[in-house]
């Protein structure tokens, strides 16, 4: 049996059709459908059966997520200092605030990030992209939000990378974010993008967010005040957990 690999033109047409269908049905919003057809693996992974009620909610609501062998330290938030050597790539500082729907700071949130290196490759055994690994860059970090809901990471700007969603498919440069609340069940996973990326219009994951304003909220803005002289360029990206201005949640992906 021969499987036809969709071309970029096929994906562009599917994205346009999906957007038109949402507009016609009045369902355009900040969160995409789990079975968004142009994003092939989303169709394969989204739940098809009714959710199973949890008999013991307290067993799920575990108190205080803790990861790693030690407490969260300053070094965890600086991905350029976690190894003995210097990582390759453009140094960047990514900072922002975690806010609730009323704009109030959310304190003490565990914020985790993971990303590809400057060549567009993850330090993960399942990543077979033939780009070089960087022995001085692991691509993961974490921190806790401060009293103003603030977080900050120092890292390198990730590279774009190919993926097999369709012919000549490339992901725009992005950083994955995960936020935990007071329990393991309280988790938000999303992605942050960089301004002006020419791959935006070709990417089914980003384009699955059909609301223009919601999609723009996934793109960080360059902030010269966050740039560190002779060290790194600064990007600001705030995360809103709920409400009309909520950050897109990457559910089931």
Catalytic residues: 122, 161, 171, 174, 176
Bridge partners, 140 (sequence order): 114
- The answer to whether the CB of 123 falls within 8 A of the CB of 151 is no
- What Cα–Cα distance (Å) separates residue 78 from each residue in 9, 27, 54, 151, 205? 40, 40, 38, 12, 28
State the alpha helices, DSSP H only, in 33-147.
40-45, 57-60
């Amino acid at each position: 049996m021969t499987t036809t690999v969709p071309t970029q033109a096929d994906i562009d047409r599917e994205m346009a059709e999906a957007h038109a269908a949402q507009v016609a049905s009045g369902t355009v919003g900040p969160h995409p459908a789990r079975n968004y057809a142009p994003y092939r693996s989303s169709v394969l992974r989204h739940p098809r059966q009714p959710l199973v009620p949890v008999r013991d909610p307290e067993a799920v609501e575990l108190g205080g997520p803790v990861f790693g062998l030690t407490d969260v330290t300053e070094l965890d938030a600086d991905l350029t200092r976690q190894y003995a050597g210097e990582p390759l790539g453009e140094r960047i500082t990514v900072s922002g605030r975690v806010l609730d729907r009323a704009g109030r700071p959310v304190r003490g949130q565990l914020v985790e990030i993971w990303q590809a290196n400057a060549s567009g490759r993850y330090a993960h055994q399942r990543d077979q992209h033939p780009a070089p690994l960087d022995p001085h860059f692991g691509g993961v970090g974490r921190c806790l939000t401060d009293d103003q809901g603030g977080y900050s990471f120092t890292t390198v700007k990730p590279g774009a990378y190919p993926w097999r969603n369709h012919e000549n498919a490339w992901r725009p440069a992005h950083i994955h974010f995960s936020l935990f609340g007071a329990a393991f069940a309280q988790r938000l996973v999303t992605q942050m993008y960089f301004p002006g990326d020419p791959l935006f219009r070709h990417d089914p994951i980003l384009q699955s967010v059909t609301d223009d304003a919601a999609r723009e909220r996934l793109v960080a803005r360059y902030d010269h005040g966050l740039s560190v002289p002779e060290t790194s360029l600064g990007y600001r990206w705030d995360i809103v957990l709920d409400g009309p201005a909520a950050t897109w949640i990457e559910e089931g992906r």
